[in-house]
Structure 1
Amino acid sequence: MATITHHTVAYANDKQIHYLAAGPINGPLILFIHGWPGTAITWKSQIDAFSAVGFRVVAPDMPGYGQSTARRVADDYCQEALVEGMMALLGDTGRDAAIWVGHDWGAGVTSSVATQHPEAVKALVTLCVPFHTIERGWQGFLPLVNRELYPAEEYEFGQWDYMRNYEEDFEKTIEWFDQDVAGFCKAGNQPSAPISTRFAAITATVRKAGWFGGLPKPPGVELTGPPLLPADVFDSFVGDMQKTGLWPGSAYYLHHARNAEYNGKLVGKLDQPVMFIHAIRDVVCDTKTSRLMEPMRDACSNLTETTIEAGHFVHYEKPDEVQAAIFRFIVEELPSEWPGFWTAGYTKRKGAVAV
């Protein structure tokens, strides 16, 4: 198990980011950026695995979560403000570039970092949410909805209807979440089911039917099975979420137009190694039967894709497979960032003579 240390970096005068760090201080730097909802500790499996082989691993509580600044100030959570925080985080490590790994909104933020500061990205790995989509506002992903599954006349916003719900009824939505934060988090931490046929995601009818199909409040913790995360990690995560509530983290969804202007000014083509991890059971971030991957494929000249049989929280459900995929990606595409590359004296000899 990794020895994890706690750190805090101040930025933008009155804000701070708390982060976890592990592994040798001089090891190649890899940053793990969580999404909604999440905190640094939800990367515990990856922190242990990557630090054990010699990486310097950093995982922040993103703004709005955990011990980082979590004000009810919507401007704190636009992509421009989040990138400012990420650059402060990177600077606090003493490095000027890193491998960035992001999931969900964390993938949106790492994609924004890669767009705005490509020099700070040695390699980019995104899970479930492709580069050049969510961080570019509605136009970055809404036109890519599978309209055979989500006819526009019935599902104007496709599976992203819940995002429109935030814009139209934010405070009421937060009140619903906050009735039972632990129950909500546990319900979202359940194993995925195999998909035999594609069906409309429950997120496609939130404005009409409500969350979880119209339940008056999130299901209680006693109504769902064991969470995907280990019990101690899950309990720490829930404690973090109960501290902040869902308002700050959900405010990431309130800036589509502003984010489009911020990132849309730049072409955002990437030549450095990039990997995307498809979660084949993810019915919301559906990258297999929709066109959601098209912008990433167009924008990245060195793209690796891999598919894992899991749901949206693929790194909780199949951590070993996620770690193996990222390990292989780094070894094959960016070997200079593998720990010990320059110092291990590794020599390959061909044509050994049989005795």
Structure 2
Amino acid sequence: MSTLTWPQGRPVKLAPRANQPSITLDIHETGEGPAVVFCHGFPELAYSWRHQLPAVAAAGFRAIAPDQRGYAGSSAPPAVTDYGLTELTGDLIGLLDALKIDRAIFVGHDWGGFVAWAMPVLYPERTAGVIGVCTPYMAMPQTSLMRRLVNGKDERMYILWFQEPGRAESVMDSRARLIFDRLMRAPLEPAEASRRMMASGELDMNPFRRIEDFQPETPPIVTPEELDVYVRAYEKTGFRGGINWYRNIDRNSREHPQIGVAKLTLPCLMITAAWDGALPPRMAAGMPALCSDLEMHNIERAGHWVQQEFPDAVNETIVDWLKRRFKKP
């Protein structure tokens, strides 16, 4: 198991950008060298990278993980439209500016992966490389397609259920401990997971609205103390900030249709998790045609929270690639 030395967080105020007021991001930072910025997903925190930051720093890099806008102690603006890719990628540029960093390698998992893959398209001059963890380089999925998958029954797809402001929060905010206790567990074997999603005869991909029905059947992948970090953060803030990212999916597609389509020539690493039910490895199949400098690595028996479930395998893959591609001889 990787050694954990989680750096204390500190607030960094970003300068106002493109009609956006100044916001503050809480960041965790350690090490010196080329900058590597870690972008977390939902429902997560910068803390989700607690195993990766010390390993990357020990390899000779400056490892930085922000709690992104809407999460933990970072700013959580009130408007839904404050959480699109324009704003989220702008935050990362604002962070680089505040830290006086010219270029960085961006690492993204889950929603953070969409942000990381958008960086070389929107800000190529500030992006040295990209590492996708579970999230491949692809176009943003549209809600119209999801709605067809569930025959218009929005409650059966969590992303659709999230679209109405306040709806999901009214269910989830009071159940933070239950949600993280059920989510942060080893995955089911894919065939069994698929069977359960179709148990009623219809596809159901929304565990959040009926989290009480999910009984723990696999071991937890976090300690009780680690679980408490997530629970305390979300009991304080609720889930609104992170959910608002989902409410901008269609807007992101309209404003940035080139993301997931434009070809990338910078160094790219894709780490897939064999048992990831949310972002299975097959979703990365189109990446070789879009990324001319790509390495791909699959971690067997790993689920969606791969960087926490198999931290040593993830660290070895990331550090090996970083050293080969970005360390001077």
TM-score tier after normalising by the smaller chain length: 0.7 to 0.9
Secondary structure at 2:28's aligned position in 1? strand
1:283 correspondence with 2:274: no
1:228 to 212, 221, 231: 221
Higher alpha-carbon deviation: 181-190 or 4-13: 4-13
Deviations 1:182-228 (A, max 9, x none): 211221101112335672674999x996843863x6479x9677642
2:177·2:231 contact (CA, 8 Å) conserved in 1? Answer: yes
1:187·1:219 contact (CA, 8 Å) conserved in 2? Answer: no
Describe how 1:284-323 pairs up with structure 2 within 5 A: 284-288=278-282, 292-309=283-300, 310-323=302-315
One-letter amino acid of the counterpart of residue 16, structure 1? T
1:185 to 177, 180, 196: 180
Q: Which has the larger radius of gyration?
A: 1
The alpha-carbon deviation at position 244 of structure 1 amounts to 1.2
Cα distance change of structure 1 residues 203 and 313 upon mapping to structure 2, 3 Å threshold: farther
Query: Which residue number corresponds to residue 72 of structure 1?
Result: 78
1:55 correspondence with 2:71: no
Write the distance in 1 (CA, Å) between the matches of 2:208 and 2:99. Answer: 44
Deviations 1:46-97 (A, max 9, x none): 1121122221110000111011012332112111011111111122222111
The alpha-carbon deviation at position 154 of structure 1 amounts to 6.0
The alpha-carbon deviation at position 296 of structure 1 amounts to 2.8
Describe how 1:1-355 pairs up with structure 2 within 5 A: 1-2=4-5, 4-7=7-10, 8-12=12-16, 13-24=21-32, 27-134=33-140, 137-138=141-142, 142=145, 161-167=157-163, 169-196=164-191, 199=194, 202=197, 211-212=206-207, 215=210, 218=212, 227-265=220-258, 268-288=262-282, 292-309=283-300, 310-332=302-324, 334=325, 337-338=326-327, 341-342=328-329
Write the distance in 2 (CA, Å) between the matches of 1:177 and 1:198. Answer: 22
Write the distance in 2 (CA, Å) between the matches of 1:163 and 1:90. Answer: 30
1:33·1:102 contact (CA, 8 Å) conserved in 2? Answer: yes
Write the distance in 2 (CA, Å) between the matches of 1:66 and 1:36. Answer: 12
2:168·2:209 contact (CA, 8 Å) conserved in 1? Answer: no
2:9·2:28 contact (CA, 8 Å) conserved in 1? Answer: yes
Deviations 1:262-305 (A, max 9, x none): 221565321111111111111221232xxx32443322111111
TM-score normalised by L of structure 1: 0.79
Secondary structure at 1:179's aligned position in 2? helix
Q: How many residues align?
A: 318
Unpaired runs of 5+ in structure 2?
Answer: none
Unpaired runs of 5+ in structure 1?
Answer: 343-355
Deviations 1:132-152 (A, max 9, x none): 233xx418x95xx9xxxx9x6
Cα distance change of structure 1 residues 224 and 93 upon mapping to structure 2, 3 Å threshold: farther
2:158·2:208 contact (CA, 8 Å) conserved in 1? Answer: no
The alpha-carbon deviation at position 120 of structure 1 amounts to 1.5
1:130·1:293 contact (CA, 8 Å) conserved in 2? Answer: yes
Write the distance in 2 (CA, Å) between the matches of 1:224 and 1:200. Answer: 15
Secondary structure at 1:199's aligned position in 2? helix
Write the distance in 2 (CA, Å) between the matches of 1:210 and 1:197. Answer: 14
One-letter amino acid of the counterpart of residue 64, structure 2? V
